[in-house]
Amino acid sequence: MTQTKIQLEENEIPKQWYNVVADMPNPPTPPLGPDGNPIGPEALAPLFPMALIEQEVSGERWIDIPEKVREMYAIWRPTPMFRAHRLEQALGTPAKIYYKYEGVSPAGSHKPNTALPQAYYNAEAGIKRLSSETGAGQWGSALSLVGKWFGLDVVIYMVKVSYDQKPFRRSMMHTWGAEVFSSPTDQTEAGRTILEKDPESLGSLGIAISEAVEVAAANKDTNYSLGSVLNHVLLHQTIIGLEAKKQFEKVGDYPDMIFAPCGGGSNFAGVAFPFFADKAAGKKIQLVAVEPTSCPTLTKGTYAYDFGDAIGLTPLMKMYTLGHDFMPPGIHAGGLRYHGDSALVSQLYHEGLIEAIAVPQIATFEAGVQFAQTEGIIPAPEANHAIRACIDEALRCKESGEPKTLFFNLSGHGHFDMAAYDSFFSGELEDFEYPEEDIQASLRNLPRVG
């Protein structure tokens, strides 16, 4: 019988996360405060527990996963890796295609990989409540899922337009016991300020972040939790790539190229960083971040210090950015609509150690449908970006005759994104031109540093 699924046993769940900082040729750039000077760990203390702050600044290569976290990872981990036999056949490619499927988590994406340890460390620190924001709802779902397991209340500020248009992600969060508010609310200074100016405001991720941070800063028993971008979030996600390496070992194979969607960077880092360790040790492997042409942070942005949020409340991080007030078009891959990128991913890209490409929306859905019809799983729109890039490479292999081993992260299922597939089938989906002028305008507003 041809092997389709490469599984690991529960006791093969990695015991440590991998910290890419240890293998980077240069130390990571520091975040800067409003005064332009590097901020210390203490600046983060009102929002995060010390254990996470230590991870955020750690240079250690390996960081132990607490036994309790490993035990609870087992609810959905190890996740399966698949050989895409039927997709390969449909493409007629000599390439071998593998994918790791993170949609088996109860929340349906890779996001719980970091929500779980974040909840654990906060509960250990005596915190009673976590606040966060969510746009399309994947991160909010992940945090809501894990809260109850550690006796934590979870409060989610969901961007109003999504709250109204994506009721089922909201229902999921309710089912797991979270409080979900349509942001802007009148509970916070930030929300009230916005509502005063525009009572009909549809909200934005920037506003929702402000509300969640304000609530965490103002309440001693409440901390804030972030779903991407930060070093500790990327660290937790490396469990994906660490498992994948064991799975490749099991079948005696190794990828030539890895593809992952890239928004804030934790999806890409999660699968690619553990392989970067091999690359740093001299192994030949290409690590490719895939982003939408409508929000081409790495491929068209500038490497500069910028704010992480739209309003300018966060510390400044050195990253590829389209400018913090760049507003990407309303594509369906909500998780990839971010003006910036993780500092670690940005630095590795700047140093030429990883690659990036941008793909247009309609082509990503074409790839997603081809994948669904051959492999079965209906992918999330974010994951369709990696699939598109991987299929394109497999087709190049068909031309050249190269039997490359390709690997991508199928970071989530599309069960809550079927309206996007409907738009695709009805021909309503649009490709957005690279909005050069908008980006240039937005880049003119970059903060001046040093």
Q: Number of C-alpha atoms within 13 angstroms, CB side, residue 208?
A: 28
Tell me if 337 sits within 8 A of 328, measured CB to CB.
Answer: yes
Tokens linked to 427: 């021909």
Residue 292 has phi, psi (to 5 degrees) of: -80, 145
Whole-number Cα distances in Å, 211 to 101, 273, 399, 441: 33, 32, 52, 27
Binding mask 66-95 for a second copy (x = CB under 8 A): -x--xx--xxx-----x---x---------
User: Contacting a second copy (CB under 8 A), which of 234, 316, 377, 383?
Assistant: 377
User: Contacting a second copy (CB under 8 A), which of 239, 242, 367, 378?
Assistant: 378
Output the CA torsion sign for 226, 224, 209, 39.
negative
User: Contacting a second copy (CB under 8 A), which of 106, 164, 400, 449?
Assistant: 106
Stretch that binds a second copy, among 141-149, 337-345, 346-354, 428-436 (CB under 8 A): 141-149
Dist. CA 113–CA 171, nearest whole Å: 21
Q: In the bound complex, what is the minimum distance in angstroms from residue 176's beta carbon to a second copy?
A: 6
Q: In the bound complex, what is the minimum distance in angstroms from residue 150's beta carbon to a second copy?
A: 11
Residues 225-264 that bind a second copy (CB under 8 A): none
Q: Is residue 281 near a second copy by the rule CB under 8 A?
A: no
Q: In the bound complex, what is the minimum distance in angstroms from residue 174's beta carbon to a second copy?
A: 6
Dist. CA 393–CA 108, nearest whole Å: 27
User: Contacting a second copy (CB under 8 A), which of 211, 306, 309, 375?
Assistant: 375
Q: Is residue 428 near a second copy by the rule CB under 8 A?
A: no
Q: Residue 444, Cβ neighbours under 10 Å: how many?
A: 9
The arrangement of strands across the sheet holding 96-101 comes to 5-6, 81-83, 96-101, 405-410, 257-261, 286-292, 355-359
Q: Which residue number, 302 or 370, has a Cβ lying nearer to a second copy? A: 370
User: Contacting a second copy (CB under 8 A), which of 4, 165, 400, 445?
Assistant: 4
Binding mask 334-373 for a second copy (x = CB under 8 A): -----------------------------------x--xx
Q: Is residue 115 near a second copy by the rule CB under 8 A?
A: no
Stretch that binds a second copy, among 35-43, 164-172, 257-265, 400-408 (CB under 8 A): 164-172
Of 380, 410, 423, nearest to 138 by C-alpha is 380
Q: Is residue 220 near a second copy by the rule CB under 8 A?
A: no
Q: Is residue 177 near a second copy by the rule CB under 8 A?
A: yes
Q: In the bound complex, what is the minimum distance in angstroms from residue 103's beta carbon to a second copy?
A: 9
End-to-end, the C-alpha distance of the chain in Å comes to: 62
